[in-house]
Amino acid sequence: MDGPPDPFPILNRLFWLLCLVCIGFYYFAARREIARLTPRDEPRRATANRYIARFSLAVAVPWLVMGWAQLVGAVPSIWYYFRPQERNPYVLAWLGSLFALAVAYAYWVFLCDGARKLRELHLLRAVGLGFADRLPDGVIKLIAAIGPFWVLLWGYVAVHSNAPIPR
């Protein structure tokens, strides 16, 4: 398929690495923020830091899938991720990992009291959402419920937009 010229040649192949760097940045920033928010509550800080570490590892999975696919040459550029209709197994694995992550988050929020934990441990505030401690459980649950549908919608739109791949 002959598409438009590639506007971002380096980012085209290393976007996944940029995402992993951002996750690392947010991980360390969140740990600092949690230490600031809970200076005298070591058990709460330890629990919050465990969750931040788990969340960081979980959100890294799709970008590790993308990176592996690009490093082994199975997906030449990021633009192929906008064409899941070609059924590249790595692109589908990436999309599947996003969906699994959204479902796991919704499961945790709904069935493991995650909404309360997010608020009480300042987990969302630690990643830059300063207003999150004031969000009611219903709003947090609504956002978690929308997540899997949002990923499916993105996949549907990507398939039907028939995006050209830059050369």
Whole-angstrom Cα distance, residue 8 to residue 18? 13
Helices (H), 38-88: 42-71
Low-confidence ranges of the chain (pLDDT < 70): 1-7, 126-133, 167
pLDDT in tens, 63-83: 999 999 999 999 988 888 988
| CB neighbour class for 135 (10 Å; exposed up to 12, middle 13-18, buried from 19) | middle
pLDDT in tens, 35-58: 988 888 899 999 999 999 999 999
pLDDT recorded at residue 101? 95
Query: pTM score, two decimals?
Result: 0.86
